[in-house]
Chain A
Amino acid sequence: MNFFGKKSISSVLYSPALVVTIIMAVLSLLVIYYLITGNYDMFSSGTTVLNIPGTDLNLKTHHSIFIILGSFMFNTVYFYVLSRLFKTFSNAILFSEQTIRHLRVFAYFNVIAPIVACFIAFLILDSANFEFVIQGALVIAVGIFCFMILSIIKKGQHLQTENDLTI
């Protein structure tokens, strides 16, 4: 199976990425709802308990509600940008301005977002740990790899243009 073009892995992965985007967006809105209504408990141990309205049930997590909200919002944007990229990769023409634009956005997001997230976690929330930094470094590595693919696609687009303009 091909990675690019119609009936490729990219076209198959587009829908799951979009579904994850929607799920993450809904979860972000849910956490914002908890923040607005104050229907949660935060303990000094770092544990957060989200009380489900109308029931005695609750969701317990070992992270701050702000970390949870930040993660969901990050994932919403991440999977949205990723779904756009998969959609572009499933087009018939790979070497296009659209592919370059979407890949550039995805690469920049992968490099900048973890740095911003780590900065916020360190300075504002004071809760960043080693695991958090490692995860951020991995995302940055993906971003750097995307920049490498971007330069290949730019060269490909140049060759494609030259080929199209050869009569």
Chain B
Amino acid sequence: MPIIINLDVVLAQRKMKSKELAEIVGITEANLSILKSGKAKAVRFSTLEAICEALNCQPGDILEFTTESE
């Protein structure tokens, strides 16, 4: 998929654990894992907003667009 999720990178930069983020955002660890692995089909604006607020970042820091050839 051309959309890459850089949640792992941002989490490492913030030195935050997945479990902690899941608790703050209010989603399950399983769903966060789906999001991190890129298996998610869609992300709700409310979830994205909560993640950005928790990690103090912009949506562009988490989501990245790449072409298939790259």
Point out residues on A near B: beta carbons under 8 Å.
Answer: 161-162, 165-167
A161 touches which one: B32, B35, B41, B47 (CB < 8 A)?
Answer: B41
B44 touches A165 (CB 8 A): no
Contact, CB under 8 Å: A166 / B39: no
Rounded to whole angstroms, the CA-CA distance of A5 and B61 in the bound complex is 43
B56 to chain A, nearest CB (A): 20
B40: interface (CB < 8 Å): yes
CB distance from A72 to the nearest CB of B (A): 48
A166's nearest neighbour on chain B, judged by CB, is B42
In residues 22-36 of chain B, which contact A (Cβ within 8 Å)? 27, 31-32, 34-35
Measured CB to CB, the residues of B under 8 A from A are 27, 31-32, 34-35, 39-44, 47
Chain B residues, CB < 8 A from A162: 41-42
23 A-B residue pairings within 8 Å (CB atoms): A161-B41, A162-B41, A162-B42, A165-B34, A165-B39, A165-B40, A165-B41, A165-B42, A166-B40, A166-B41, A166-B42, A166-B43, A166-B44, A167-B27, A167-B31, A167-B32, A167-B34, A167-B35, A167-B40, A167-B42, A167-B43, A167-B44, A167-B47
A162 to B41, CA, bound (A): 6
Q: Which residue of A lies closest to B48 (CB)?
A: A167
CB distance from B33 to the nearest CB of A (A): 10
Cβ contacts under 8 Å, B43 to chain A: 166-167
Known: A166-B41, A166-B43, A167-B34. 15 other contacts (CB 8 A): A161-B41, A162-B41, A165-B34, A165-B39, A165-B40, A165-B42, A166-B40, A166-B44, A167-B27, A167-B31, A167-B32, A167-B35, A167-B42, A167-B43, A167-B47
